[in-house]
Chains A and B, each alone.
Chain A
Amino acid sequence: MIKAILIFNNHGKPRLIRFYQYFAEDMQQQIIRETFHLVSKRDDNVCNFLEGGSLIGGSDYKLIYRHYATLYFVFCVDSSESELGILDLIQLICFFLCVCVFVETLDKCFENVCELDLIFHMDKVHYILQEVVMGGMVLETNMNEIVAQVELQNRMEKSEGGLSAAPARAVSAVKNMNLPEIPRNINIGDINIKVPSLSPF
């Protein structure tokens, strides 16, 4: 069983958290901090398994993580999961022998996974993750299958949005274009549209 999947960056900022066992919010944050503390002080060339983490699980649990660019992918698993298997699940495509699922899927869906993608599309990452791991158990490891299902669902969402979603999309496209000058208030009759303050990032 996988007890939790945590993705946070080099500074310990959570980018995606998924607990398969209930913890209150403050406990979740504590776990993230603790995990970050444990993981971050480790060199890159040490092993990817970590015992301990008093908050999450006991002796039966292990932290298995990969440090990938600016992100840490941490899985908290119990002894029923194969350590290397989980590593495979989160490993880079690179040179290792085994198939990898999670990161590679992100790659395919986002072209280039980088922290910003994760931040802005947390929901989408969740949807992908849901196709890989469900309720703490590995659901699917076949990459093509996962990508196909994610694609199909996205297509469904698009078709549902249809015309009515078009203006929203347009607006968000405009917002994303990051135009410096947008009038703060547009008055069309009595409709008062507040334009949110936009600022470059």
Chain B
Amino acid sequence: MALKIVKGSIDRMFDKNLQDLVRGIRNHKEDEAKYISTCIDEIKQELKQDNIAVKANAVCKLTYLQMLGYDVSWAAFNIVEVMSSSKFTYKRIGYLAASQCFHEGTDVIMLTTNQIRKDLSSPHQYDTGVALTGLSCFVTPDLARDLANDIMTLMSHTKPYIRKKAVLIMYKVFLKYPESLRPAFPRLKEKLEDPDPGVQSAAVNVICELARRNPKNYLSLAPLFFKLMTSSTNNWVLIKIIKLFGALTPLEPRLGKKLIEPLTNLIHSTSAMSLLYECVNTVIAVLISLSSGMPNHSASIQLCVQKLRILIEDSDQNLKYLGLLAMSKILKTHPKSVQSHKDLILQCLDDKDESIRLRALDLLYGMVSKKNLMEIVKKLMLHVDKAEGTTYRDELLTKIIDICSQSNYQYITNFEWYISILVELTRLEGTRHGHLIASQMLDVAIRVKAIRGFAVAQMATLLDNAHLLTGNTQRNGICEVLYAAAWICGEFSEHLEDPMQTLEAMLRPKVATLPGHIQAVYVQNAAKLFATVLRKHEGETDSHAAQETSQLLIDRLPLFVQSANLEVQERASCILQLVKYIQKLQQKKVEVAEEVTALFAGELNPVAPKAQKKVPVPEGLDLDAWINKPPSESESEDEKPKAVFAKEEPKHSRSRHTEVDEKELARRREARKREQANNPFYIKASPSSQKVYDAPGVEHIPVVQIDLSVPLKVPGMPMSDQYLKLEEERRQKEKAERKKEKKKKREKRGKERKADSGPESEEDIAPAHQVDIVTEEMPENALPSDDDDKDPNDPHKALDIDLDKPLADSEKLPVRTHRPEVLKSPAEDRVNESIPQETKKRSGKEKKEKKKGKEKDRKRSKEEKKKKKHKEVEEELLESHPEEAVQSEETKEAATPPTSTSAEASELDFWLCSAPVPPAAQEETAPSSAAAVDTSSAAAPESEPDEPKDAEPEDTKSSKHKKKKQKKEKEEKEKKKKKRHHHHHHHSNAGGEDSVQNGTVEEEEPLPPMSNYFLLAENSYIKMMKEDADQVYDIQGNHQDESKVVVSVIFENKSDSFLKSMEFNVLDSLNSKLQRPEGAGAHDSLTVPFQLPPGISNEAHFVFSVQSIVMPQKLKGTLTFIVKSDESSTHEKLDFKLHFTCTSYLITTPCYLYDAYAKLLESGDLKGSSLRLEGINMPFHHLLARICFHHHFSVVERIDSCASMYSRSIQGHHVCLLVKTSDQTVSIDAKCDEPSLLGNVLDEIKQTFSKC
């Protein structure tokens, strides 16, 4: 046994290790493959051994072989074995191998979950680190889901080394398991402020990567990043953040304004080129996002352009490249500032570096004008001639066409020149862009009517010289232009000088070697030409020419009838028969030209590429509806739709992927030969004609090889350069003429200024031809929709998740449980994600029930208000209220998408508020807040006693079981009081609703009724209710004397007796005194100025003078009255306590201008305090309404789940609130110039909400 171990160990000593393997491979250069295969055999042997060290060594070698391109997936299980070794050395080897060759398809990955989890929680940081590193390379959706929670815990590991790795890997987890993003995001956000720079940098990295794909969800982090940007010194982090801002600014222009300054500073101060470059880039992004009109815009642009020029002029090619790259971004919005550097860019075109030339080409696009287009294109054509590599030349070609055709040929003054440029471009060898040139030719010929004659002439020459284009098989791409040429010649054949010649050229036998779709066009257009020729010769006495043409067609067309291409064959045979018939007619001397021409009558109009898509669906047409019921599946199988017309696409691919095609051909040939060999009736070809298969039907055509080293000069083809000269001459002439004219004018008018001899302006250059560019047709009433479809396979799409929305209970990372529950499919999870509100509210049936009940109740109370008289009827009505009503209510709610920008968003607004708020927002908020104040203050005065206020909040309370019972009680109470109270009730409700509307337009739910009356004291005879909102009294009075508070008290007679001689008395304190009529003593009571018959209530006002309003007050008081019944009258007394809350000293003061509010906040005079309320389960607008109603605030601005509110005390203290809500938590940040007042107000707010 011992011996065995020794043996194993010694054996191992002499096993090949990685170095040996490498050395071996180097020594077997000639038979490397063989050597490696023996090595792999050895490795397989080693992997079979039990010794983990041997296995690890083998796996290490496999990693090397993997790099050389050998598939090592067969060893995946062994890799897992090595990964699970307890020794770091081997573990590391295992994880390295796994990271190199595992992927989502590797099935053994399933086995690793627990091992990785173990390693992640290992006490040794390097075990954890190695596991994290490995995992980052092969994380799968399953692993991500199972390990997300473990990794999340690691994000708070004590070691920064682990923290940073855990943070970084979260990005990969998010990608694979998007559901984890929301639960993990808060912690990720925390890591932005991690003390360790590495962790911080990792967090920035991850968030930037996330934000790049879905920037709008991360807008709320802008303040945090701004802080980081101004504080960080790490260039890597800075670059990332600056890049991120570049992505954010298009969404929030105010951010851009805030950024410009620090970025400009960075540009001036930094010495790191990389940072400078990114700053410039982001400044450009900012400038693009900002609408022009800011005065310092041009300065920033100038700075950028200036810095970029420095980069471009730098000798470092990298900087030059990047400078050009950034310049092209400016070009889009500020072409003027780039155009001044035209010299520099043209210079770059001559650079020896291809990348730089390409970038300069991009820039040229924006530099052309009518004036310099020809010049620039000439320069490019020179480059085309010089360019050796095909990619660069192709790029040049596309750029030339791009430049010329941009914005509807705006800059082309001479289309003859452009056509000749296109024709010249056809002489490029081996370009892939034949199709592009062809489409340009077609486009120009169709849309520029004036040029058709010229174009047709050129195309005819091209067709005549077609052999030059097709002669070389390598130049296949360019033969596409023949497609265009043939079509143009055919369609506009009336412009042809000698259609007969062109017809002849189009029917040459060699045409049969062209791709099928081109042949088809040839055949079709030959017919068109034939029609033209016929018409030309019609009426001539000698019909010889016409007959000759028919004969020509009859002779040549059979070649096409034999074509292998269906389209060609079909058209050819069709036309052949037609021509034969015509020939017969001709022989009978019948005039046919008219009829033949009619075949091709009518003009084709250019149609916009999107036209088809934009045709609106006619009303009443349902495209998804079946016309007939679908047949059973089996039937539909064999009815595959066939292409009606021959498709072009396969033809292209054939010419490009000749390799594949040839293989295929060879295979078929082989098969055919075999078949033929077996076929006794087949007459075998002699060996000499073997080639037949290579090019069927072509072998008898003599192929002329053209020496292409000599530059091609197609006879009769105009050189574009001539046009340049001509154009210059023309312009000179025009100029001279103009000068002459001017001279004449000047002679007439002596005053005229001197003729400017400076460069001619754009408008001066008149196009050579009067060109009428036909615009592309669009269908009538096309919908102006811009449908830029995004790639549905983008993995980042799944990460477009709103992060500001509070987490729902259902959103948790899966935690390992002893017996894991059945995992929800991701799709299901996503559903939960998208409507967390719904799940939250209606997770169970019970809840649903409750919801319904609630809904019903609300309805009921509303109805009651309206139809108080028909109690019974209405009750029934409600009872039978169809369920659908509730249902629809629910679905409506479910359908409303979760609001995306929330508390954070308006925090962002707060942060951005140094910049002026967009005027639209101001206008929106100001009047509405004013309105709110009006209504809320107007609502209350008309008041009557109401039911006890504690019944109210019940509406929103969430305790389920009591609910119904309470409701009933309440209903009963309401019913009792309805007759008397409906009035007030209605009003308070309306007030509440109105006050909520300021800030938001959309209303989610109706408000529960609110009352600010609360019970003061009650006995069997009388109930006293005090109005909680003391300011409801006459406000003007208050303005005159600020320290007076009016208390309204409602007295309600509950007994059957008559109440009279009511006297109200309060024990004054030092601070607050009841105002008594003059002459009355300090302890005298006030007489209530009315009597109360049974069941009647009335209100009385009492004025108090108050000195300090920063503290709440309590005053003891007594009410005495006489109860007078029929038989007797008794003296009764009722004690009460008057509570002056600090709130009652606040007056709802509308804050019309957000500006003023912002200024107030910025002034620094206010002291802050904050409050946090947990478990508030009511809609945000209810919450705001409550604050407005009970605490006399007005909403200044509301943005989703965040609102700023304002109020003023009777002594002129400003109180500002910023209320934010997330989930069930409400946080209130408050500012006031009187801290103790603020504290008390906040306490009271807290109390208000604790009661509900």
Chain A residues within an 8 Å CB radius of B171: 135, 137
A201 with B26, Cβ < 8 A, contacts A84-B273, A84-B322, A171-B13 known: yes
Given A82-B274, A82-B278, A123:B63 Cβ within 8 A:
yes
> A200's closest neighbor in chain B, by CB?
B27
Note all chain A residues with C-beta closer than 8 A to B70. 25
Given contacts A22-B104, A98-B272, contact A157 B88 (CB under 8 A): yes
A157–B272 CA distance with the chains assembled, in angstroms? 38
Smallest CB gap from A18: residue in B: B100
Chain A residues contacting B278 (CB-CB under 8 Å) are 82
Please indicate the chain A residues that have their CB under 8 angstroms from the CB of B317 in the complex: 45-48
Question: A52: CB under 8 A from chain B?
Answer: yes
Asked whether any CB of chain A lies closer than 8 Å to the CB of B1123, the reply is no
CB contacts (< 8 Å) of A47 on chain B: these are 316-318, 320-321, 353, 355-356
**B358→A84 contact, CB < 8 A:** no
Asked if B69 and A28 make an inter-chain contact with CB atoms under 8 angstroms apart, the answer reads yes
Q: Looking at the complex, which one of A17, A24, A122, A194 makes contact with B14 (CB distance below 8 Å)?
A: A194
Q: How many A-B residue pairs have CB under 8 A?
A: 182
Q: Roughly how many angstroms separate A161 CA and B96 CA in the complex, as a whole number?
A: 19
Chain B residues lying within 8 Å of A42, measured Cβ to Cβ, are 354
Most buried by A among B12, B101, B202, B318: B318
Chain A residues near B67: list those with CB within 8 A: 14, 16-17, 122
Which residue of A46, A82, A145 contacts B198 across the interface (Cβ within 8 Å)?
A: A145
Indicate if A50 sits at the interface (CB-CB under 8 A): yes
Per a CB cutoff under 8 Å, which of B10, B101, B358 touches A167?
B10
B-chain residues with CB within 8 Å of residue A195 when the two chains form the complex: 14
Most chain B CB neighbours (cut-off 10 Å) among A20, A168, A194:
A168
Chain B residues with CB under 8 A of A127: 92, 96
Does chain B have a CB within 8 A of A10?
Answer: no
Interface core residue of B63, B70, B272, B352 (most chain A CB under 10 Å) = B272
Binds B, one of A68-76, A104-112, A148-156: A148-156
Mark each residue of chain A from 77 to 106: 1 if its CB lies under 8 Å from any CB of chain B, else 0: 000101111011000000001100000000
A196–B391 touching, CB < 8 Å: no
Query: Any chain A CB within 8 A of the CB of B1178?
Result: no
CA distance A22 to B88 in the complex (A): 26
Contact string against A for B residues 2-18, beta-carbon threshold 8 Å, 1 for contact and 0 otherwise = 00001101111110111
Within 8 A of B (CB), among A35-77: 42-43, 45-52
8 Å CB interface, B308-357 against A = 316-318, 320-322, 352-356
Residues of chain A lying within 8 A (CB to CB) of residue B66: 25
Tell whether A187 is near chain B: CB-to-CB under 8 Å.
no
> Known contacts A25-B69, A142-B198, A193-B14: does B236 contact A123 (CB below 8 Å)?
no
**Residues 146-183 of chain B: 1 if any A CB is under 8 Å from the residue's CB, otherwise 0?**
00000000000000010011001101100000000000
Let me know if B217 is at the binding interface, CB within 8 A. Answer: no
* Set of chain A residues within 8 Å of B753, measured between Cβ atoms: none
Q: Does A181 reach chain B (CB closer than 8 Å)?
A: no
What is the CA–CA distance of A13 and B20 in the complex, to the nearest angstrom?
18
Q: Which residues of B contact A176 (CB under 8 A)?
A: 19
How far is it, in angstroms, between the C-alpha of A164 and the C-alpha of B414 when the chains are bound?
86
Let me know if A137 and B205 touch, CB within 8 A. Answer: yes
Residue among B101, B205, B320 with the highest chain A CB neighbour number at 10 A: B205
Flag if B137 contacts A46 (CB, 8 Å): no
Give the nearest-CB partner of A126 in chain B: B96
Chain B residue contacts of A45, Cβ below 8 A: 317
- Which residues 240-273 in B have Cβ within 8 Å of A in the complex? 243, 271-273
Q: Is there a chain A Cβ closer than 8 Å to B206's Cβ?
A: yes
Say if the beta carbon of B68 comes within 8 Å of chain A.
Answer: yes
B236 touches A85 (CB 8 A): yes
Given known A49-B318, A122-B64, contact A82–B271 (CB-CB < 8 A): no
Does B981 lie at the interface of the complex (its beta carbon under 8 Å from any beta carbon of A)? no
Give the shortest distance, in Å, between A150 (CB) and chain B (any CB): 11
Question: Which residues of chain A are within 8 angstroms of B202 by Cβ–Cβ distance?
Answer: 137, 139
Q: Nearest CB to that of B318 among chain A residues?
A: A47
Cβ proximity bits B1146-1157 to A, threshold 8 Å, 1 near / 0 not: 000000000000
* Interface of chain B, main secondary structure: helix
Which residues of the partner chain B approach A157 to less than 8 Å between Cβ atoms? 88-89, 92
B71 proximal to A (CB < 8 A): yes
Please determine whether A137 and B318 come into contact, CB atoms closer than 8 angstroms. no
Chain A neighbourhood of B60, CB < 8 A: 123
- Bound-state CA distance A108–B23 (Å) is 24
| Alpha-carbon separation in the docked complex, A160 to B130 (Å) | 16
- The yes or no answer to B1105 lying at the interface (CB within 8 A) is no
Q: In the complex, which residue of chain A has the Cβ closest to the Cβ of B212? A: A80
Residues of B within 8 A of A122 (CB): 18, 22, 63-64, 67
Q: B389: nearest residue on chain A (CB-CB)? A: A41
A49, B71: Cα distance in complex, Å: 31
Is A191's CB within 8 Å of the partner chain B? yes
Interface readout for A162-201 with B: 1 if CB under 8 Å, 0 if not?
Answer: 0010011011100110000000000000010111100101
Shortest CB distance B901–A (Å): 24
When C-beta atoms are compared, the residue in chain B nearest to A63 turns out to be: B355
Expressed in whole angstroms, the Cα–Cα distance for A26 and B165 within the complex equals 30
- A49-B321, A149-B161 as given contacts; A134 in contact with B14, CB under 8 Å: no
B133 touching A130 by the CB < 8 A rule?
yes
Complex contact B274–A160 (CB within 8 A): no
Q: Do B353 and A46 touch across chains, with their CB atoms under 8 A apart?
A: yes
CA of A98 to CA of B320, assembled, Å: 17
Indicate if the CB atoms of A134 and B68 lie closer than 8 Å: no
In the complex, what distance in Å separates the CA atom of A50 from the CA atom of B234?
Answer: 27
| A144–B198 alpha-carbon span in the complex (Å) | 12
Q: Which 8 A-B pairs have the closest CB atoms?
A: A135-B136, A84-B274, A47-B317, A22-B103, A46-B353, A29-B69, A47-B321, A171-B13
Sampled A-B contacts (29; CB under 8 Å): A1-B209, A17-B67, A25-B101, A29-B69, A43-B353, A46-B354, A80-B208, A80-B243, A82-B243, A82-B274, A97-B273, A98-B274, A122-B18, A122-B67, A126-B63, A127-B92, A130-B133, A134-B165, A134-B169, A139-B164, A140-B198, A164-B9, A167-B9, A167-B10, A168-B13, A170-B13, A191-B7, A191-B10, A199-B27
Q: Which A residues are within 8 Å of any B CB, using their own CB?
A: 1, 14, 16-18, 20, 22, 24-26, 28-29, 42-43, 45-52, 80, 82-85, 87-88, 97-98, 119-120, 122-123, 126-127, 130, 134-142, 145, 149, 152-153, 156-157, 160-161, 164, 167-168, 170-172, 175-176, 191, 193-196, 199, 201
Can you add 12 more A-B contacts, CB < 8 Å, to A28-B69, A126-B96? A18-B100, A43-B353, A46-B356, A47-B318, A47-B320, A82-B239, A84-B274, A120-B23, A122-B22, A123-B93, A138-B205, A191-B6
